[in-house]
Amino acid sequence: MSDSKQAREAGGETGLLPTTSHQILRPFYPLSKPSKGGDLTRVDGRSGQAAGQLIYLSGRVLDRTGAPARNAKIEIWQANSHGRYTHPNDDNPAPLDPCFEGFAVVETDSDGAYRLKTIKPGAYPAGPGRIRPSHIHFEVFGKRERFVTQMYFAGDPHHEQDPWLQSSIKQETIVMPIIGPVAGMEPEAGRVNFDIVLMNG
Ligand SMILES: [Fe+2]
């Protein structure tokens, strides 16, 4: 069975996949975008590796029929393992990580697939008594659609109190488990699969 047929059958009676839940862009969209490749754990000119749990993040960008979104640009940005963004508007006193910039841009291949190597971001304060759970921001530029979301990690104790995650009626499309360890990779690394389904591709 073809991938697209499998995907349509998984979509239930309509034959269409449920679209990934939209999330807000703000407030730490990068002002500078220094890195271009899919490895966020290294910074050009520095010998060290970003602090935190290594995450191999991969998935496919699809439209609702299960067809791959080929050559779609994906931008991701995230806090470091201490919960701090490399962004001038972030007033969180948590430390910056000299080996982590927190931005990458990759492109999907002919199968709609993408791959990233990063670290699990820390949770961070977002106002009095409010902690944002660990999350990674995504912006996808498909052929017909520009789509923004955030991916969260299953089992995070801050999910229930987070108004942005709770605003989603399809949390299952943006909350993903860490699966690990990863064969042939660092023993402490985890793997996350995050497929993104666009309305129109
Ligand atoms: Fe964020």
Q: Where are the alpha helices (DSSP H) in the chain?
A: 3-10, 163-166
Distance 92 CA to ligand 1 centre (A): 12
Supply the mean pLDDT for the chain.
Answer: 91
Place of tokens 């191999």: 56
- From the list 30, 76, 102, the residue with the least C-alpha distance to 194 is 76
The pair phi, psi for residue 173, each rounded to 5°, is -85, -10
pLDDT at position 167: 95
Q: Given a cut of 60, is residue 4 above it in pLDDT?
A: no
On the 0-12 / 13-18 / 19+ scale of CB atoms within 10 A, 191 is: middle
Distance 195 CA to ligand 1 centre (A): 19
CATH number at residue 46: 2.60.130.10
Total of domains in the chain: 1
CA distance 199 to 63: 6
pLDDT at position 7: 47
List the domain range (segments joined by +) for residue 155.
3-198
Residue type, 32: S
Place of tokens 């993408």: 114
Distance 28 CA to ligand 1 centre (A): 6
> Following DSSP, what letter does each residue of 23-55 receive, concatenated?
----S---S-----SSBTT--TT--S--SS-EE
Q: Under a CB-based contact definition with an 8 Å cutoff, are residues 157 and 92 in contact?
A: no
State how beta strands 196-198 and 54-63 pair.
parallel
Distance 121 CA to ligand 1 centre (A): 9
pLDDT in tens, 26-73: 789 888 777 678 999 999 899 999 999 999 999 999 999 999 999 999
Active site residues: 85, 124, 132, 135, 137
1: confidence class by pLDDT, cuts 50, 70, 90:
very low
Q: Return the higher-pLDDT residue of 24 and 76.
A: 76
